Amino acid sequence: MSNTDFLYAMLNNIYLGMSQVTSQVPMGGDYWIELSTEMMVERMFRKFRHLFTPASKRPADICRAWIDVMDAQGFVNKHHYRFQEEGDRLRVEIQRQGCIYLEYCTTAREEGLPFVCPRMVSCKWVVSHLTDQPYQVEMTINSEGNSSIGYISPAGLADNILARKGDRITIAGERAVVVSTNTYGYLLKAIYQYAPQILPQVLYQSSYSASLVEYDRVDPRYPDKRELIEWLLQHTNYLGVIRYEIVEFDEINKRARIRGYGSYMAEMFLKHNLFLTPHMTCDSARGRLAAYFSRAWNMEMECEEMECEALGNSCCEFVVLPKHL
């Protein structure tokens, strides 16, 4: 066995090991494999970004350019890929012959393990990253055929991200209680009816305190503070709370500007008419950002919302500044 064959065998067994671990997650095995693959692709994309030259931001051109990069590195054969746009979907056909993940693909399906195609997910992630839109992969594998066919198409919110341990549902090892936005909305409405003046502070402070705990758990893994905050904000997006985008990150002057899209809190305000003032704000989002940046910059920060989706704006926009100038 050559060194290359050994490395490919190791790569396949790494994926099989990951699938074995995630098979113990009753809800979300495929999701965690896909998420891990996306994170690996993101790191590779950053490393080879200077070689990536798509002809346009059309999904087919993005995928071709990314495959060209990997082909140039000897990792794949670009002639094994075919891309065809069909409406808002991109049809991807990949020849199975010579696929370095063939052992993983075959063994995982034979053993009933969670499986996602790393090559399909790789293309999907790059399309999502370049278009700033969520996409998903739908795949058909023909064991008797010579190719695998998948479709990269616009996606809804990710689901299946919880784990079950005995009678408990957990998120990252912590017991979780799953409630619908409708149930949560009525909880907020009850507080609003009896003590409307405390609702903003309750939302802000509870989010602030919980976010400090989240930050401290992850902090040791990320020496770069911006990378740490981006990971935390991405995790919030995966939970379906809000999708954040860092517009400004000025560590020297201690100033940040963040936009949020799809705020569940804005949805609650509108659905249950929880407006306290003409200038409504997503207080839980403010508390979260204030906590993250207070920890990251080692000083007390505050967050104000300049625009809110609940008031008809296209996004929620937040500014983070030192509390004491």
Q: Does the predicted TM-score (pTM) go above 0.85?
A: no
pLDDT at 144: 60
Where does 239-282 have alpha helices with state H?
A: 264-272
| Domains of the chain and CATH, by start | 3-154 (3.30.1380.20), 179-322 (3.30.1380.20)
Q: Tell the burial category of 167 from Cβ atoms under 10 Å away from its Cβ (0-12, 13-18, 19+).
A: exposed
pLDDT at 160: 41
pLDDT at 276: 58
CA 46 – CA 62 distance, rounded (Å): 15
Per-residue pLDDT for 308 more than 70?
A: yes
Q: What percent of the chain has pLDDT over 90?
A: 37
Which of 33-47, 60-74, 152-166, 196-210 has the least mean pLDDT?
152-166
Asked whether the beta carbons of 105 and 117 are under 8 A apart, the reply is yes
> What is the distance between the terminal CA atoms of the chain, rounded to a whole angstrom?
64
pLDDT band at residue 71 under the 50/70/90 scheme: very high
Nearest to 252 by CA among 231, 225, 234, 232: 225
Share the mean pLDDT of the chain.
Answer: 83
DSSP characters over 33-88: HHHHHHHHHHHHHHHHGGG---SSSSHHHHHHHHHHHHHHTTSS-GGGEEEEEETT
Helix (H, G, I), strand (E, B) or coil at 109: helix
pLDDT band at residue 7 under the 50/70/90 scheme: confident
Asked whether the beta carbons of 72 and 64 are under 8 A apart, the reply is no
Per-residue pLDDT for 109 more than 50?
A: yes
Per-residue pLDDT for 29 more than 70?
A: no
pLDDT band at residue 25 under the 50/70/90 scheme: low
Per-residue pLDDT for 112 more than 70?
A: yes
The whole-number average pLDDT for the span 149-162 is 65
Residue with tokens 């407006």: 275
In this structure, how many other beta carbons lie within 10 angstroms of the beta carbon of residue 51? 13
Task: Pick 4 or 213 by higher pLDDT.
Answer: 213
